[in-house]
């Protein structure tokens, strides 16, 4: 199929006018400005549209969409976690599946074609037949109450994926956080993620209460953890990242959600482990967190990407990365729109090990693109990022969706 658009953003430095893209099945096979249709080839003409790579959200919880507006930040982070726990019975499998489908659709309309979604209720995935966007199901594990059978669960999830080959679905593994997953569980998941070459992601250094717990100080976390929980590793870490270092908890290339609580002594470990940090600006603001240490991470060449987290802790229920970028640039005014673009395209593609498939529109990339209605005479990057309208048309793995406007 040949698509002839007004403009095509191949990557930040390469803009084609007009912008032509040929795709076959799920892949882009040719990019240029003067491609001619082959005999019998289907042609889609979009002269007023700018095609750009679909964005990548490295941290979301698609299954929690129904909790939008239901919770409050409260007095501290454990208080918020307690609210989530009391809501769990209302999150039936059906409610979770509906949230997943709706949130993936909303995100696609807002330009995001790939989402890493933390998946805490794996059986609820049974019966899910499709999602609008590409999804990495990040299977979440904890061992507060009982020991999960990691390898059996991973095998079942892989079999589920192979039964759904028409979907652009992938797996990732995610120990929840150091306060709910022991060092042994982290290490087991690390081994499994290396063996199966699956991305590894975890919530880390999110709140001051977590830092206190791991340092052995008094914290309200004690109110929500079981009284008989025996964790010898609580009590001697200077920071959550220091905890990871002592417990050999992270593989190379880990994707770390939040990292709000950072000590200067953590930086060499993050760098050596080639970690990527995911910052979720609207959720960060909602919790009233202290300033995110973006500048120090950047100085130390630790990649930072932008995610949304879930509508249970953010007003951004559309999972719109443009909204996250706007707030991020209000708080970090030195960040250019081009730099912000990289944080939702090429940087997360690299973190997923998919830089030849995602983040740019090149020969061999997955056909994951978004069509925006913007004037074609300007630099398209600011116009797209500063816009608020939904995308006109999008494509995930070669499947085109035209977004209806009423």
Q: Which residue's CB is nearer to Zn ion, number 133 or number 365?
A: 133
Which lies closer to Zn ion via its Cβ, residue 63 or residue 309? 309
Q: Are strands 393-396 and 399-402 parallel, antiparallel or unpaired?
A: antiparallel
Closest CB to Zn ion among 309 and 368?
A: 309
Measured at the CA of 362, the angle between CA 357 and CA 367, to 5 degrees, comes to 60
- Which residue is closest to Zn ion by CB? 309
> Measured from the CB of residue 257, what is the shortest distance to Zn ion in angstroms?
5
CB of 288 to Zn ion, least distance (A): 17
DSSP sequence for 257-305: EE--S--GGGHHHHHHTT-EEEE-HHHHHHTTPPPP-HHHHHHTT--EE
Question: Are the CB atoms for 317 and 106 separated by under 8 Å?
Answer: yes
CB of 308 to Zn ion, least distance (A): 9
Give the nearest distance from C-beta 311 to Zn ion in angstroms.
11
Q: Nearer Cβ to Zn ion, position 188 or 309?
A: 309
**Alpha carbon distances (Å) from 328 to 57, 62, 280, 284, 347:** 15, 22, 9, 10, 16
Q: Give me the least distance between CB of 175 and Zn ion, in Å please.
A: 13
CA distance 224 to 82: 7
Continuous H helices in 300-345: 321-331, 337-343
Q: Which is nearer to Zn ion, 210 or 309 (CB)?
A: 309
* Between 64 and 374, CB nearer to Zn ion: 64
Do 193 and 200 touch, CB atoms closer than 8 A? yes
CB atoms inside a 10 Å sphere around CB 307: 26
Question: Rounded to the nearest whole angstrom, what is the least distance from the CB of residue 309 to Zn ion in the complex?
Answer: 5
Binding site for Zn ion (CB under 5 A): 309
């Amino acid at each position: 199929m040949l698509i002839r658009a007004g403009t095509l953003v191949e990557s930040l430095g390469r803009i084609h006018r007009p912008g032509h893209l040929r795709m076959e099945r799920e892949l882009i096979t040719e990019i240029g400005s003067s491609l001619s249709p082959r005999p019998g080839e289907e042609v889609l003409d979009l002269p007023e549209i700018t095609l750009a790579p679909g964005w990548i959200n490295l941290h979301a919880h698609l299954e929690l969409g129904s909790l939008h507006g239901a919770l409050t930040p409260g007095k501290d982070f454990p208080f918020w976690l307690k609210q989530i726990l009391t809501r769990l019975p209302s999150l039936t499998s059906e409610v979770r599946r509906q949230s997943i489908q709706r949130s993936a659709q909303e995100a696609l309309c807002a330009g995001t074609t790939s989402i890493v979604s933390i998946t805490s209720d794996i059986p609820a995935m049974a019966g899910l037949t499709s999602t609008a966007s590409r999804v990495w199901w990040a299977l979440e594990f904890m061992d507060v109450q009982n020991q999960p059978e990691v390898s059996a669960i991973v095998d079942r999830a892989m079999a589920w994926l192979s039964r759904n080959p028409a979907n652009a679905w992938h797996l990732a593994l995610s120990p929840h956080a150091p306060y709910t997953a022991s060092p042994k569980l982290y290490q087991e998941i690390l081994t499994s993620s290396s063996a199966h070459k699956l991305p590894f992601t975890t919530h880390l250094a999110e709140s001051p209460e977590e830092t206190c717990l791991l340092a052995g100080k008094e914290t309200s976390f004690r109110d929500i953890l079981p009284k008989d929980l025996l964790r010898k590793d609580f009590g001697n870490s200077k920071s959550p990242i220091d905890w990871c270092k002592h417990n050999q908890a992270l593989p190379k290339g880990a994707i770390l959600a939040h990292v709000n609580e950072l000590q200067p002594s953590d930086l060499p470990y993050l760098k050596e482990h080639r970690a990527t940090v995911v910052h979720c600006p609207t959720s960060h603001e909602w919790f009233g967190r202290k300033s995110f240490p973006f500048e120090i991470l950047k100085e130390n060449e630790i990649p930072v990407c932008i995610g949304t987290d879930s509508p249970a802790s953010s007003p951004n229920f559309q999972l719109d990365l443009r909204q996250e970028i706007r707030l991020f640039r209000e708080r970090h005014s030195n960040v250019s729109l081009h730099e912000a673009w990289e944080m939702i395209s090429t940087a997360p593609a690299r973190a997923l090990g998919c830089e030849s498939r995602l983040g740019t529109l090149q020969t061999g990339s997955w056909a994951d693109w978004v069509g925006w209605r913007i004037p074609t005479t300007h630099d398209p990057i600011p116009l797209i990022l500063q816009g608020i309208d939904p995308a006109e048309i999008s494509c995930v793995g070669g499947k085109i969706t035209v977004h209806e406007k009423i």
